[in-house]
Amino acid sequence: MTVYLNDMAHEAKKNETILEFVRRIESLEAIPTMCQDDRLENFGSCRVCSVEVAREKNGTTKIVASCHTPVFEGAYIYHKTDKIKRLRKNILELVLTDYPSDKVFPEKGKKPTEFQKTIAQIGIPNVRYPKGKNSLEIEKDDSHPYIKSDLAQCINCYRCVRACEEIQGEMVLGMSGRGFATQIIKGFDTNFDLSACVSCGACVQTCPTEALSDKFTTKTLVADETVRTTCTYCGVGCQLDVSVIDGEIKGIQAPVTAEVNEGHTCLKGRFAFQFYNHPDRLKNPLIKKNGKFEVVSWEEAYDFMTEALLRVKKEYGADSIGCISSSRACNEENYLMQKMTRVALNTNNIDGCARVCHAPTAFGMQKAFGTGAATNSIQDMEETDCIMLFGANPTEAHPVTGARIKQLFMKGIPSIVVDPVRTSLAQLATYHLQLRPGTNVALLNMMGHYIVQEGLVKKDFIQKYTEQYDSFKDHVSTLDMNELELLTGVSKELVKKAAIAYARAENAMEFHGLGVTEHFQGSKTVMLLSNLAMMTGNVGRSGVGLNPLRGQNNVQGAADMGVQPHQGAGYLDVNDPEVKAYYASKYGISGMPEKEGLKIPEMLEAAIAGKFKALWIMGEDTLMTDPNTLHIRKAMEQLDILIVQELFMSATAEMADVVLPASSYFEKNGTFTNGERRVQRVNKVVDPIGNTKPDGQMIIDMMYRLGYEQPTGPVYDAAKILEEIAEVIPFMKGISWERLGKNGLQWPILEDGTDTKIIHRDGNFKRGKGKFHHFDFEETPELVEHREKYPFILTTARQLEHYNAGTMTRRTDNQELSPMDYLEVNPLDAADKDISAGDSVRIFSDRGSVNIPVKLTYLVKPGVVRTTFHQPEVFINMITGNVGDEYTLTPEYKVVAVDFEKV
Ligand SMILES: Nc1nc2c(c(=O)[nH]1)N[C@H]1C(S)=C(S)[C@@H](COP(=O)(O)OP(=O)(O)OC[C@H]3O[C@@H](n4cnc5c(=O)[nH]c(N)nc54)[C@H](O)[C@@H]3O)O[C@H]1N2
Ligand SMILES: Nc1nc2c(c(=O)[nH]1)N[C@H]1C(S)=C(S)[C@@H](COP(=O)(O)OP(=O)(O)OC[C@H]3O[C@@H](n4cnc5c(=O)[nH]c(N)nc54)[C@H](O)[C@@H]3O)O[C@H]1N2
Ligand SMILES: [Mo]
């Protein structure tokens, strides 16, 4: 359509606002704004962006707010007439009446705020009115460890209120009062610390003044440098802009151009960076001598390790050595770790955190579809008509994705949450199926049964693209719904309604988490979730699919790189002779290890049996996070040598013979792969702390000592290693450091660099045909054996403020926000046991007991208790058990038979 800007004809886009149009044609500064933020709904309240518009040349003009007025055919727009300039100045004058006069200009040595830029753009008016709001006493709020408010600087633009609601989906901020007393309030007009604020900082980032700011004053910092990198915490993979002054990190903002997080991030990404130069950081290599750690040189540490590893290899064989790689470290480092294990130590004993996490997802989805990764992208959410969230709690664990899901739930999209806990998303969902922990298979069989019964299956899709449907159908059709209703504890009518909602939706999307995988029947559950998608044709286009919310920042990547004992880089089967020959030729060696390797629990068992002697752990706090601590400790004590690469003296590092100090992700280059297969750059922000080295460097150093010359040379260079990865991994042929650019690429990445948003498109399953499986529900041995004596079910999960072992988040102000793990108990159970809020209990299982403070809540049903596993003061894994998924041995952290008593 043709639109005229100052009488010049231009092509305008459909649905464009006048503001967008003028900014596109002229420049971002063409029209000043105050209440406008591209990420928020247009608001049109401040009128600073006003322009004159006429329907014809020289026609009568009307003044409109350009931010919320769409362009129209033949519009004549004038954006810098005298009338408009006067109007803007008058508005600004009124705003400045209520604004501190000493904040009109930027402070010395600071960047101007957005509002200060707007003032400069419009020109400072002469303020003729008496002081309004600012004649009142307005207190500053310093109660929160990260976020501050100084509402004297508030210009009532509502951006924070809208960001809180529209981006984060919280309604913590609001506006209250009238006239001069109008002001932003938190919660029921408390300070931040007592409000329900989730500390995401969206309000701080959007606030155009310093009415809301963070304690690092990130917005107005004049940084020497701002480096874009990828967050180290969860699998969402947020992009961060990190500001550096004098070689120190001073603040973090979320870039609005990031495809993954679009200018948003959670409190961990934005604020929890103080761990990186915490005094506790390990700075030198350590060797334990006579039970005490001594600082040694890198040479001494390497010599000691080389000697010990070669000795163990000679005495007990290569398979008595094993390595645990790190999903916190980069792809390049994980690639090197598995390569070193296989080519220099000559064993397939390499494993990683997926073992205790999403291994059943990889296994189950490979069985059903052929690929063990998310079928779709997070962005697809915008195109779905139904969301099923199965055993995942993304508002705590994947907060940026969680916030997006929350927006859709609040807008009323048909939604199903399957979770024994009434999570914040369960509270908003259309259907919450609050099952007994451990009964996923039974519940999914019910859903399958009802979808068949209601005739809602997509016969065409099933016939063309899948196999084994009939046996699945026959199986679920004969099941007794009354029996399963009793087992799961969810009314069959409710399950039926949810199943129908899922099956009837044009496009339905599944997201799942550890509530699926960390179970005795974890892999089976994944296969049944795959069935649900296939039987309703929900695979292979946008807005559908099976989307595991992968956990660690680089757990997807670690697996892609070959960090598992049965598959090498790119998931090729290490038992296959052709694959062996392929890797041997790529790695330039004569042959690959003979046998498939051991999984972590098998390594530990073998250690206890005296057959496994050397364990090398990179970035995992196995003692704290693997189940049944005493069992792990016993295994570690049997080792001849335990090597740990760490940032901190973790519980595991305490057990080690050699501790190597690693550089954190701020201090090195590489890539992380997020849960939607997107490989993104990790860019070095600051120099390595102390005498630390990137993990990749340590591994290369050791490769040489163990007799293997890494072809990319003795210096860890992420871009070069990425070239080697492109050579080895078939689905990464086209990857390169340059091509990754700012927003990364989603694999498969073709030779020409094209990436892939959706896999198994149009029924083209990676394995050929999608495969149906069917299973009966089976009670976990944990309950069968122990429930008489320990009648409660403990389920363990995570909380927003802390990350896994807590080594990092506990060394930030997040510890102030959340100082403890709590046991959540239903008040009815508490009453039975004479326990009140604030009490501590001793909780015990067949493995041991720990003390923990109690929180009373109706979010768990009677008979179920829940806690998190972040605080070593509690050390909850002392009581978790050894039952694991039948196929992958992933521990059943989600069902532990326990009892508890007041202490
Ligand atoms: N803040 C924070 N974020 C994190 C992490 C962290 O430690 N802290 N860790 C990261 C890691 S490693 C991972 S893997 C992800 C995990 O992220 P999620 O998969 O969301 O993990 P959890 O919170 O452990 O468990 C998810 C849900 O499963 C439910 N559940 C328990 N038992 C059952 C069951 O039998 N059936 C069903 N349907 N549901 C059940 C729990 O109640 C819980 O709400 O988070 C990542 N993000
Ligand atoms: N009870 C219970 N236990 C659980 C779970 C549960 O739900 N319940 N969840 C399980 C799951 S899903 C997971 S993934 C595991 C996670 O367990 P871990 O992998 O042990 O947890 P993290 O805290 O992520 O630990 C990683 C370690 O790496 C270090 N680190 C960080 N960055 C780097 C780096 O660049 N290099 C090196 N060398 N080290 C680095 C950190 O200091 C930290 O100590 O926990 C499992 N444990
Ligand atoms: Mo995980």
- What is the 288 CA–ligand 1 centroid distance (Å)? 36
Residue 180 reports pLDDT greater than 80: no
Is there a contact between 353 and 326 (Cβ–Cβ < 8 Å)? yes
Q: Where are the alpha helices (DSSP H) in 53-195?
A: 82-97, 114-122, 159-166
Predicted local distance difference test score (pLDDT) of residue 98 = 87
What is the position in ligand 2's atom list of the atom closest to the CA of 354? 14
Residue 26 reports pLDDT greater than 90: yes
How confident is the model over 74-85, as a mean pLDDT?
95
Closest residue by Cα to atom 3, ligand 1, is 397
Could you tell me the pLDDT band of residue 363, with boundaries at 50, 70 and 90? very high
Spatial separation of the C-alpha atoms in residues 265 and 237, rounded to whole Å: 10
Closest residue by Cα to atom 4, ligand 1, is 397
SS3 761: helix
What is the position in ligand 2's atom list of the atom closest to the CA of 665? 35
CA–CA–CA angle 287, 291, 295 (5° rounding) = 30
3-state helix, strand, coil in the chain (%, to 5): 35, 20, 45
Ligand 1 site-directed mutation target among 419, 512, 526, most atoms within 8 Å of CB: 419
Spatial separation of the C-alpha atoms in residues 732 and 741, rounded to whole Å: 15
How confident is the model over 682-692, as a mean pLDDT?
97
Specify the fold of 129-277.
Alpha-Beta Plaits (3.30.70)
Ligand 2 site-directed mutation target among 229, 328, 649, most atoms within 8 Å of CB: 328
Predicted local distance difference test score (pLDDT) of residue 823 = 98
Predicted local distance difference test score (pLDDT) of residue 132 = 72
Residue 62 reports pLDDT greater than 70: yes
Q: What is the DSSP string of 53-85?
A: EESSTT---EEEEGGG-B--TT-EEESS-HHHH
251 lines ligand 1 (CB under 6 A): no
Spatial separation of the C-alpha atoms in residues 836 and 727, rounded to whole Å: 61
Could you tell me the pLDDT band of residue 125, with boundaries at 50, 70 and 90? confident
- What is the 143 CA–ligand 1 centroid distance (Å)? 30
pTM for the whole structure = 0.96
State the CB neighbour count (10 A cutoff) for residue 56. Answer: 10
Is the CATH number 3.50.50.60 carried by domain 359-548?
no
Pick from 682, 668, 674, 677: nearest CA to 729: 677
The bound ligand whose nearest atom lies closest to the alpha carbon of 328 is 2
How confident is the model over 848-871, as a mean pLDDT?
97
- What is the 552 CA–ligand 3 centroid distance (Å)? 5
SS3 407: helix
Calculate Rg over the CA atoms of the chain: 29
Considering only residues 132 and 514, tell me which one the structure prediction assigns the higher pLDDT.
514
Overall CATH class of domain 781-902 = mainly beta
pLDDT mean across residues, the chain: 96
Segment 612-668, tens digit of pLDDT = 999 999 999 999 999 999 999 999 999 999 999 999 999 999 999 999 999 999 999
CATH topology agreement for domains 359-548 and 781-902: no
SS3 631: helix
CA–CA–CA angle 421, 425, 545 (5° rounding) = 105
Is there a contact between 359 and 888 (Cβ–Cβ < 8 Å)? yes
What is the position in ligand 1's atom list of the atom closest to the CA of 435? 36
Is the CATH number 3.10.20.740 carried by domain 2-80?
yes
SS3 38: coil
Residues with CB under 6 A from ligand 2: 326, 328-329, 353, 356-357, 514, 518, 551-552, 618-621, 625, 645-648, 650, 662, 664-665, 695, 796-797, 803-805, 807-808, 869, 876-877, 880, 893
Q: What is the DSSP string of 834-860?
A: T--TT-EEEEE-SS-EEEEEEEE-TTB
Ligand 1 site-directed mutation target among 393, 510, 778, most atoms within 8 Å of CB: 393
State the CB neighbour count (10 A cutoff) for residue 161. Answer: 20
How confident is the model over 321-332, as a mean pLDDT?
98
Is there a contact between 692 and 282 (Cβ–Cβ < 8 Å)? yes
Distance of CA 289 to the CA centre of its chain: 39
How confident is the model over 273-282, as a mean pLDDT?
97
Q: Which residues of 105-129 are buried (b: 16+ CB within 10 A; e: fewer)?
A: eeeeeebebbbbebbeebeebebee
Considering only residues 321 and 126, tell me which one the structure prediction assigns the higher pLDDT.
321
**What CATH number is given for 298-354+554-758 in this structure?**
3.40.50.740
Predicted local distance difference test score (pLDDT) of residue 697 = 98
Predicted local distance difference test score (pLDDT) of residue 135 = 66
438 lines ligand 1 (CB under 6 A): yes
396 lines ligand 1 (CB under 6 A): yes
Closest residue by Cα to atom 11, ligand 1, is 551
Domain ranges of the chain: 2-80, 129-277, 298-354+554-758, 359-548, 781-902
Closest residue by Cα to atom 15, ligand 2, is 625
Percent of the chain at pLDDT above 70?
Answer: 100
Predicted local distance difference test score (pLDDT) of residue 181 = 79
Q: H/E/C letters for each residue in 462-522?
A: HHHHEECHHHHHHHHHCCCHHHHHHHHCCCHHHHHHHHHHHHHCCCEEEEECHHHHCCCCH
How confident is the model over 530-546, as a mean pLDDT?
97
Pick from 194, 808, 676: nearest CA to 400: 676
